Copies of this chain bind each other. A is one copy, B any other.
């Protein structure tokens, strides 16, 4: 690889001049500029990123605004794991991370934490804008020169550096396809819709229904709503209601990480028929039921990777000054008993 020094020698100038040309810092005559640029092209010069980073390395502090880790059955531990992983990997580059955890069912909490975030003079932000209204207000208050990344949810018409997530509509279609394969005979399907309203969950349901509309329009599909934040045990009531109402129930589509609760209920109150379960996310309890066969499929969001990519995008933009893709879509991953080992890592080593 060509270096700045070689370019300087060939152009009969000093490395300072080459640097000025490379970075358009002026103070170079147009003649020498042209000469240097020609040689840069001829040698196909690419800066040595190691040297650049070594030289430029300075402390960066990133702020992470995300739900409390224990919420959604500890779902949020997984992106946090990825964030720590990125931090460890970038250790040499002096990356600091500050967490701001909000209660995902309280706008007040989101607002309070986002104000703290704003007052902390951070170099980059990683945000989960699941509470859309206060999140919209937040982005207006973020100084223009501070890059921010969304993960899990998106606000497309914002100035975000990038969004990292999964297409929930597509994943719903995929769930429907798998469900249909497992339940080709007559019978009904139940969908558990978790409240309060959530873009992701709604899109998953839309996708699911879309697939059935296109491929099996006559199928009896019932949606049951459940207010999660009240009390986990209240799901048992809904489950019982489903069993009572749908005597020919074949499968249940659970639209978030609480899938294991349904599995647990069915295990206890097991019925004649084998009721199929498809759900989301590789949290510990879901994985247990997948292994035991109570849950048939889980859709993996690559939550760990989402956190990792979030921090890495900020780093790439700020420290490496490299281009970051506008959107980073995570693959929709089908996990079952036979391939779970290759996807699941316990969150035990979260703290480092």
Closest to A297 in B: B334
- Whole-angstrom distance between the alpha carbons of A46 and B343 in the complex? 29
- Whole-angstrom distance between the alpha carbons of A94 and B1 in the complex? 7
Stretch at the interface among A15-23, A49-57, A194-202: A49-57
Interface residue A182 (Cβ < 8 Å from any Cβ of B) = yes
Shortest Cβ distance from residue A300 to the other chain B in the assembled complex, whole angstroms? 10
Q: Which residues of B contact A329 (CB under 8 A)?
A: 342
> With A50-B50, A50-B53, A181-B182 known to touch, is A339 a contact of B331 (CB < 8 Å)?
yes
The 8 Å CB contact of A338, one of B53, B174, B336, B342, is: B174
Instruction: Tell which of A93, A94, A332 has the most Cβ of chain B within 10 Å.
Output: A332
Shortest Cβ distance from residue A28 to the other chain B in the assembled complex, whole angstroms? 25
Shortest Cβ distance from residue A3 to the other chain B in the assembled complex, whole angstroms? 10
Shortest Cβ distance from residue A337 to the other chain B in the assembled complex, whole angstroms? 8
Q: Mark A177-199, 1 if CB is under 8 A from B, else 0.
A: 11001101000000000000000
The 8 Å CB contact of A170, one of B49, B330, B338, is: B338
Interface residue A48 (Cβ < 8 Å from any Cβ of B) = yes
The 8 Å CB contact of A184, one of B184, B336, B342, is: B184
Interface residue A283 (Cβ < 8 Å from any Cβ of B) = no
Q: Which residues of B contact A1 (CB under 8 A)?
A: 91-92, 94
Copies of this chain, tallied across the complex? 2
Interface residue A264 (Cβ < 8 Å from any Cβ of B) = no
- Whole-angstrom distance between the alpha carbons of A1 and B46 in the complex? 28
The 8 Å CB contact of A173, one of B50, B174, B332, B338, is: B338
Q: Which residues of B contact A343 (CB under 8 A)?
A: 331
Interface residue A222 (Cβ < 8 Å from any Cβ of B) = no
Closest to A89 in B: B49
Interface residue A246 (Cβ < 8 Å from any Cβ of B) = no
Closest to A334 in B: B334
- The A144-194 residues at the B interface (CB cut-off 8 A) are 170, 173-174, 177-178, 181-182, 184
Interface residue A61 (Cβ < 8 Å from any Cβ of B) = no
- The A31-76 residues at the B interface (CB cut-off 8 A) are 46-51, 53-54, 57
Interface residue A333 (Cβ < 8 Å from any Cβ of B) = yes
- The A320-352 residues at the B interface (CB cut-off 8 A) are 329-334, 336-339, 342-343
The 4 closest A-B pairs by CB, nearest first: A331-B342, A332-B339, A174-B338, A334-B334
